[in-house]
C-alpha cells in the first residue's frame, strides 16, 4: 500500500522571513515526521490595516532565497497569485482538492494566528481538512485555547525558542540602522538592503 504523504504548509506574511521561521519549519518537519514543508507567503493578509505590508513579490522572493538550500522545503505562489484577501480556509480547501485524500495536511503558523483562524466564521469548513501546528515563543499563555476546541480542530502546540526573533523587530532595526546580522539569512539581509525595504518603517 502506498504511504500517505505528510505535508506541512508553513503560512506567514514573512515580512521578512527570519531564522525563527526556518527553525519552526525544521522542527515541525522532524517532530511531526513530515515529508516536506511548503512555505506559503500570504498574498493580501487580512487584518493588517495598521501598517503597510511589503509587496507580495518581495516577500515571496525572500522566502525562496531563505529556503533554497533545504531539499525538504518548497515555496508556493498559491496565495501570492490569488486575488483578494488571503483566507487560510481557501488555501487549505484548494490544496485538499489538488492532492485528494492521499495526503495528511498540517498548517503550521504562530499560535496567535492559529487562534484567529479557528475563531474566523468559516473555520468550520477546515475541520477535517487539515491539522494545525501552533508555534509558540517560550512563556506563551495558552489559556485562550480551550482543550475541546484544540482537540476538535486537531491543534498541536510546539514551543520554539528561536521565535524570540520577530519580523517586527527586524523591520524596526533596519529603520533605525541597527544590526540584523544573525537574525535572518545573510542573502535575505542583502535582498533587504538592495531593495531598500523597511528603511522608512515607523
Specify the stretch interacting with ligand NAP by CB under 6 A; choose among 61-69, 98-106, 108-116, 149-157. 108-116
Min. distance of Cβ 25 from ligand NAP in angstroms? 7
Q: Is 73 in the site for ligand NAP (CB under 6 A)?
A: no
Closest Cα partner for 88 from 112, 116, 128? 116
Grid cell listed for 92: 487549505
Contact set for ligand NAP, span 21-50 (CB under 6 A): 21, 24, 42, 45-46
- Applying CB under 6 A, which of residues 113, 174, 180, 183 lies at the interface with ligand NAP? 113
Q: Is 110 in the site for ligand NAP (CB under 6 A)?
A: yes
**12: enclosing H helix or E strand:** strand 5-12
- Applying CB under 6 A, which of residues 6, 44, 64, 120 lies at the interface with ligand NAP? 120
Sign of CA dihedral 97, 34, 78, 74: negative
Helix axes 56-67, 186-194, angle to 10 degrees: 150
Measured from the CB atom, is 12 or 185 closer to ligand NAP?
Answer: 12
Contact set for ligand NAP, span 148-187 (CB under 6 A): 163, 166-168
**64: enclosing H helix or E strand:** helix 56-67
Amino acid at each position: 500500500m502506498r504511504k500517505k504523504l505528510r505535508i506541512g504548509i508553513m503560512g506567514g506574511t514573512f515580512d521578512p522571513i527570519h531564522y525563527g521561521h526556518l527553525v519552526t519549519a525544521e522542527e515541525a518537519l522532524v517532530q511531526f515526521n513530515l515529508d516536506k514543508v511548503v512555505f506559503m507567503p500570504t498574498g493580501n493578509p487580512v487584518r493588517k490595516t495598521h501598517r503597510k505590508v511589503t509587496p507580495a513579490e518581495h516577500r515571496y522572493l525572500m522566502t525562496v532565497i531563505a529556503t533554497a538550500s533545504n531539499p525538504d522545503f518548497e515555496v508556493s505562489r498559491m496565495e501570492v497569485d490569488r486575488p483578494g484577501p488571503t483566507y487560510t480556509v481557501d488555501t487549505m480547501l484548494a490544496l485538499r482538492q489538488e492532492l485528494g485524500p492521499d495526503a495528511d495536511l498540517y498548517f503550521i503558523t504562530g499560535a496567535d494566528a492559529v487562534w484567529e483562524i479557528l475563531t474566523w466564521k468559516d473555520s468550520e469548513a477546515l475541520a477535517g481538512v487539515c491539522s494545525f501546528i501552533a508555534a509558540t515563543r517560550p512563556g506563551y499563555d495558552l489559556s485562550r485555547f480551550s482543550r475541546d476546541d484544540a482537540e476538535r480542530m486537531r491543534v498541536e502546540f510546539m514551543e520554539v525558542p528561536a521565535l524570540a526573533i520577530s519580523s517586527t523587530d527586524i523591520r524596526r532595526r533596519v529603520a533605525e540602522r541597527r544590526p540584523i546580522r544573525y537574525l535572518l539569512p545573510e542573502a535575505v539581509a542583502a535582498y533587504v538592503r538592495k531593495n531598500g525595504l523597511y528603511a522608512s518603517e515607523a
